[in-house]
Amino acid sequence: MSSGDGTAGALPGRSPAGGAPYPLSEETPDPATDLVGYRGPTACAAAGITYRQLDYWARTGLVEPSVRPAYGSGTQRLYSFRDVVVLKIVKRFLDTGVALQNIRAAVQHLRGRGLRDLERMTLMSDGATVYECSSPDEVVDLLQGGQGIFGIAVGVVWRDVEAALSQLHGERVDTGETLIGNNPTDELARRRRDRAV
């Protein structure tokens, strides 16, 4: 964003993905969401990417599988639900021309956010900088800058991925059991109920 004096900077109340660190929420990621993993072809189908993209992004460290990395030939990477959401967000950023350096910073930021934060978050970009907006007022403030801007409502991406994965196969990390038509939020709710008992 231009600050009027020819320098780039963030609007008040926001941090650019390529700039100063984001303030992290007090909520930590819920490990229960990582009890189900998705193999590469499933992650590709849900995120709308090719296997070649998935493989390249994993090898270059852009989006690595958080459940199980590949340990050599014959092993299968296993992606978490959050990983698949991030894959779909990366695809959308690339499709709109955001610089890879800014996408990398945004991916690191997304990995550090709690699940509730992700559902409420909107990522905005002017093509050069990525901003997090967590309220409608922040979105309006950013739009009033007068530059062309686009946004990704992470909650919408979340629901798209959730719907896609409910039609595909998942895999239980602890047992290796194949879950047909797995809805990741159903598994998360079941795990939480089991822990509460």
Q: Which two tokens stand for residue 119?
A: 């559902």
pLDDT digits 0-9 by tens, 116-154: 778 788 888 877 778 888 778 887 877 777 666 788 888
pLDDT digits 0-9 by tens, 65-89: 998 887 777 678 999 999 999 999 9
Residue 39 banded pLDDT, cuts 50, 70, 90: very high
Q: Which two tokens stand for residue 185?
A: 């939020």
Q: Fill in the DSSP letter of residue 60.
A: T
Q: Which two tokens stand for residue 85?
A: 């959401």
Report CA dihedral (106, 31, 77, 183) to the nearest 10 degrees: -100
Sign of CA dihedral 27, 118, 90, 82: positive
Q: State the burial class of residue 61 (Cβ atoms within 10 Å of its Cβ: 0-12, 13-18, 19+).
A: exposed
Q: Fill in the DSSP letter of residue 43.
A: H
